[in-house]
Amino acid sequence: MKTSIENAGMTTLEKKIGQMLLLGFRGLKLTENDPIIADIRDRHIGGVILFDYDMTLKKPVRNVESVDQVRELNRFVQNFAETPLFVSVDQEGGQVARLKEEHGFPASLSAWVLGEKDDLGETRREAEQTAEILRDAGFNLNFAPDVDLRINPDNPIIAGKERSYGADPERVVRHAREVMKAHQERKIACTIKHFPGHGSSLTDTHLGFTDVTETWKEIELEPFKKLIESGDCWSVMTAHIFNSNFDPEFPATMSKNVIGGMLRDQLKFEGVVFSDDMEMGAISDRYGMEEALLRGIEAGVDVFTYANNVIYQPEIGERAISVITDFVKTGKVSEERIDQSYRRIRALKQKMGLI
């Protein structure tokens, strides 16, 4: 029987750093020789993320084929983890759903449709259905709900994909809270996104540099503020948006002013901060892995997501762990800073009933 790490003080540096990574991988079915299994078993990564579409191969064959197949895949990867994994997916509903009808999963409504109906009972029923599906398939972390405001109706990645409940922060909070409670009652963590707000952007951070300096509005913080204040929020995902009023140099994911200042100090958030995919164009087009990781750690990111889908790199986990370990050994990052993230990750996994 697998046992968890019982004492954070006795955990090796490498294991703590491993917990700070959440990785994507290829395969409908795995063997013990697959690279992701070495990342889980030997490098102790904190989690994995599943996708239905392989962006590099441009084929709808990645990790999802059927309900039974996904359940077995999740069971298989979890079996190799000393500390149970975050097994995650983006299952927002509507267009952003990795578990689709063609694979045997129920259809789902988008946040925009639910927000327009503004029926909390229906949102709750949808969320309960999603949470039940996730639990049954072996997932324990949903990167949802999206609490971005529909500030720009022409936004290609938020409004354009019907991911926002609307422009009214009160409406967004009401519906997001139903989603989060339905999941959390089933020991599935939700991650609200994309801090500090992606709904006003004119472009898509997946594709490249996204500057919201002239479009971002203070009201975009409201859903995050209210959900954090009420205690409903267990974890937050960053946006890769750039706003020179926040930070003249770095996008939000790499900004001390945004994560350390706005999220931690101003909004008093003490939970886990997940990065959006570090391979998205807004980061990877402008920064190398070393700089992005260093700035992200300094900013306050706890878990770095490498979806490993925009570019497929089987060795991405090993490389990232080596880079972060070198930061500590050379004094660029203190071990206490690693411990901060490790404690937050462990606390969330305890809250989820994983350890």
Q: How far, in Å, CA of 305 to CA of 152, rounded?
A: 27
Which pair of structure tokens corresponds to residue 171? Answer: 């409406």
Q: At what angle do helices 222-229 and 169-184 cross, to 10 degrees?
A: 40
Q: How far, in Å, CA of 139 to CA of 97, rounded?
A: 14
Nearest to 333 by CA among 270, 342, 345: 342
Known active-site residue 240: no
194 cis-preceded (ω within 30 degrees of 0): yes
Query: Are 235 and 224 contacting, i.e. CB atoms less than 8 angstroms apart?
Result: no
Residue 263 dihedral angles phi and psi, to the nearest 5°:
-75, -50
Q: How far, in Å, CA of 108 to CA of 95, rounded?
A: 9
Q: How far, in Å, CA of 147 to CA of 144, rounded?
A: 8
Annotated catalytic residue, options 90, 204, 276, 277: 276
Annotated catalytic residue, options 206, 211, 232, 247: 206
Known active-site residue 206: yes
Q: How far, in Å, CA of 269 to CA of 235, rounded?
A: 9
DSSP 136-148: HHT--EE---B--
Three-state secondary structure of 321-339: HHHHHHHHHCCCCCHHHHH
Query: Are 163 and 148 contacting, i.e. CB atoms less than 8 angstroms apart?
Result: yes
Question: Which are the catalytic amino acids?
Answer: 206, 276
